[in-house]
Each structure stands twice: as structure tokens, then as C-alpha cells.
Amino acid sequence: MKEMNKDIIFKYIKQEAKRQKEGIELIASENYVSSNVLKAMGSILTNKYSEGYPDKRYYGGNEYIDEIEKECISRAKEVFNAEHVNVQPYSGSPANLAVHLAFLNPGDRTMGMELSAGGHLTHGFKVSISGKYFDSVSYGVNKEGYIDYDEVRKIALDHKPKLIWSGFSAYSRIIDWKEFKKIADEVGAILVADIAHVAGLVATNQYPSPIGISDIVTTTTHKTLRGPRGAMIMCKQEYGEAIDKAVFPGLQGGPHNHITAGIAVALKEAQSKEFEEYSKQIVKNAKVLADTLIEKGFNIVSGGTDNHLFLVDTVKSVNMTGREASDILGSVNITLNKNSIPHDERKPWDPSGVRIGTPAITTRGMKEEDMVKIAEYIDRALRDTSEKKLKLIREEVKEFTRKFLIPGIDNL
């Protein structure tokens, strides 16, 4: 054991812990899991093979694994009010591929939101398998940055997709799930809502739920839901068998049981009063951060946010590309990602904006007054990029983050 701890990998883990501790994490898809989630993920459950589903496994010795997976499913049903849940997808991308596999043949048509409008690669983008093996069409957002449902309807009627994707990686407004369902029904498509980003907000009623409206709901478990990296597919009972078969044996092998246990722990946490307060605070923080940046002259896509994230047009705000802005902020320990903005004329690897999200910093206990401080750091760093000023801000950020704990890091 002692020898193992000399493994350089553990040195890198410590360095990464320090990086997480001394930085302000604004990547909208990231979070810090609890010590109990970490404990479940780091457990001996990883030793076990369990191909199949509870009580129907291809391997022996699964009596306890079965109980864990059943409990995880039951908690997911309770939290989201879902009829059928599959907790085995390895992550969000395979979950979305499993949905394609369940309902489409290669070459069939799928329709999703454009990447530059805030959609995800797996909703039919051309470089993804979802856009290579299936015939994909996409919808965008209007000039103001909102989904235009008449436009979505028109594209759906013109192209008659078999599957319609709603949901996003970078859209700061409320989605009208019912309107999407109406459109899907009008063209005879199955509607999928991908709530990867807002799952924690949906679980606590801080964002409208598509469950009971959308035929299929996919989600990652590691963003606002604050669980381990994984995913779930929730659906109406009638689609349950098709989904289960698509996940296994269609796409995957043995489930990651340690992750299933971690998801179960996170789902229990998601039912607590503390988690509800946490979710409310995520949205409050996002609004204050966006509003403070607007006061400082920043251009925010759609003018604000209704959820945990928003996009800043850095070209319009500070005459910098998203890559330049994220590099400068990275140098002062503020981490975020460059992001295309709607109707972006620049390419995705050097787009016109950045995406900012508050789930991780809210887990650390940051509140409205801290958002004002963070907006100040961003404003100062992007408006005066002299090495002397950036060094000063980096030291201030390190000092600022000191009092905000991260589970599993402060006792590493």
C-alpha cells in the first residue's frame, strides 16, 4: 500500500485538489460531490461484473448489487416522478446514443438544437455519431437568444424527424416542454428531453420538469444533480423495454456498480431540504452574477438567466474572443469554458463567448455577495491584462477561495 502511494498519479491527484481548492470554478457542467458520494464511488463495488439487470444477470454473486441498483432506480423514480428508469448508462453521451439506438435505424432522421445555439453534440451534430449514422436536422434560437417554437415546428414539419431532442448545454432560459411535445405529436416523433444540465434544479422544482410530458428524459448525474459521472434514462413505461435493451446489450457491457451506488447516494441527498436550498441558491447566484456583469458593461446572451448558467459575448463586451478571455481568466484561477454564442461567426475552438455557471461555487457555499466579488475579478482581469495586475488578482482569488470548503479535499 505504501509503495502505491508513491505512484505519481497520487501526486497529480493532490495537485488537482490544490487547483480545485484555489480556483473559482465557473464551468457550468461541473460540481463537487459529497464525501458520501466519493465513498461509494471509491468502494469495492468496482470489482464486480453484473451484465444484465437486477434479478436477471449473466453473472453470479449479484445479490447485493441487485439491491443497490433497485434502490437507485426507486430513488430516481421518487425524485423525478418517473415511470421507468435505467441507471446504467456510463455517461450522458452513451445515454443519448442508446436513445437513438432504441428508436432509429441508421439513416433515420433525428432533430436537435444547434450546437452554437446551446444544443449538445449528441443531439445530431455532424461530427458526433448521432449526426454521422443518422440524418440530422437542427433548430436554433432567435436574435434575442430564445427558442422560436414556430421555427421549430416549421423545421419539424418540413423534415418529419422520428426523434426530436429538447434540452441543452448552453441555454439560459426556460424550455417549454409542452410546446415541444405538441410539435413532436404533430409530426409523429418521439420527444426526448435531455435535462443533463438542469437535473438538480428539476429535482427540486427550480426548473420545470419534462417528466410526464416528454416520452423520454435523459440526464447526466454529475452536473446540478451533484452525483458521480454517470447518466440515467427515464421514460414512460411503454418505452422501458426498448430503452433497457438499447443500453444493454445494445450498447454497453457491465454496469459500473460503484457509480450506481454513488448515484443512489446523490439521489438521497437530492431529497434533502439542504439540497433544495442549494438549488435555489444556484439560480439566485447565477442571476446576481449575470446582473453584476451587465452593470459593468458586459453583453449577456438573451440579457440574463433563468437557470444556473449564462453566456457572455466577450467580443462585444471586451473585444476578446472566448478563447482569449478564458485563457486570461484561467491565469487568475477562474476556470470557465469558451463557448459559441447564437449565430456565432467564429469557429467553436475560438468562439465569440464564454459560458458561466454557478453550481460548483454554490456547493462551496458562495452567496450573492460573493457573486459581486467574482464579477469584479472578471471585470478587472479582462479590462487590464498587464502581468502585474493579473498576478495581484490571482493572489486575491486564492485568498478569497480559502474559506470555501470542498468535500473530500480539505482532508486530503
Ligand X SMILES: Cc1ncc(COP(=O)(O)O)c(C=O)c1O
Positions in 378-407 near ligand X (CB under 6 A): none
Question: Which of 231, 261 has the CB closer to ligand X?
Answer: 231
Q: Shortest gap between Cβ of 99 and ligand X (angstroms)?
A: 11
Stretch 129-168: interaction string toward ligand X, x if CB under 6 A: --------------------------------------xx
Query: Minimum distance from CB of 19 to ligand X (Å)?
Result: 20
At closest approach, how far in Å is the CB of 254 from ligand X? 18
Please spell the DSSP secondary structure of 230-277, one letter per residue: -EEEEE-HHHHHHHHHIIIIII--S--HHHHHHHHHHHHHTTSHHHHH
Q: Is 220 in the site for ligand X (CB under 6 A)?
A: yes
Whether residue 401 lies in the annotated active site: no
Closest-by-Cβ residue to ligand X is 92
**Of positions 20, 25, 29, 262, contacts ligand X by CB under 6 A:** 29
CA 109, distance to chain mean position in Å, is 25
Question: What's the min distance (Å) between Cβ of 118 and ligand X?
Answer: 9
Closer residue to ligand X (CB): 92 or 408: 92
Q: 354 and 336 in contact (C-beta within 8 Å)?
A: yes
Decide if 181 is catalytic. no
- From 218, 220, 221, 260, active-site residue: 220
Question: What's the residue count for the chain?
Answer: 412
For residue 325, the surrounding DSSP H or E stretch is helix 322-331
Which triple of cell numbers denotes residue 310? 449564462
- Contact between 91 and ligand X (CB under 6 A)? yes
| Closer by beta carbon to ligand X, 145 or else 167 | 167
Please report the DSSP string for 6-49 in residue order.
GSHHHHHHHHHHHHHHTSEE--TT-----HHHHHHHTSGGGG--
* Contact of 68 with 260, CB cutoff 8 Å: yes
Q: Whose Cβ is closer to ligand X: residue 125's or residue 377's?
A: 125
- Mark 346-383 as b/e (b = at least 16 C-beta within 10 Å): beeeebbbbbbbbbbbbbbebeeebbeebbebbbbbbe
Tell me how far, at minimum, the Cβ of 156 lies from ligand X, in Å.
20
Active site residue 49: yes
Q: Quick one: cell of 245?
A: 435493451
Residue 108 is a catalytic residue: no
Residue of 139, 285, 142 whose CA lies nearest to 201: 285
Q: Which of 196, 233, 263, 375 binds ligand X (CB under 6 A)?
A: 196
List 22, 39, 51, 148, catalytic entry = 51
- The β-bridge relationship of strands 84-86 and 231-235 is antiparallel
Active site includes 364? no
120: contact with ligand X by CB under 6 A: yes
Distance of closest approach, residue 297 Cβ to ligand X, in angstroms: 29
> Dihedral (C-alpha) 78, 65, 33, 233: value to the nearest 10 degrees?
-50
Which range of residues in 35-43, 89-97, 140-148, 374-382 is near ligand X by CB under 6 A? 89-97
- For position 197 contacting ligand X by CB under 6 A, the verdict is yes
51 is catalytic: yes
Positions that interact with ligand X (CB under 6 A): 29, 91-93, 96, 120, 122, 167-169, 194, 196-197, 220
Catalytic residues: 49, 51, 194, 220, 223, 229
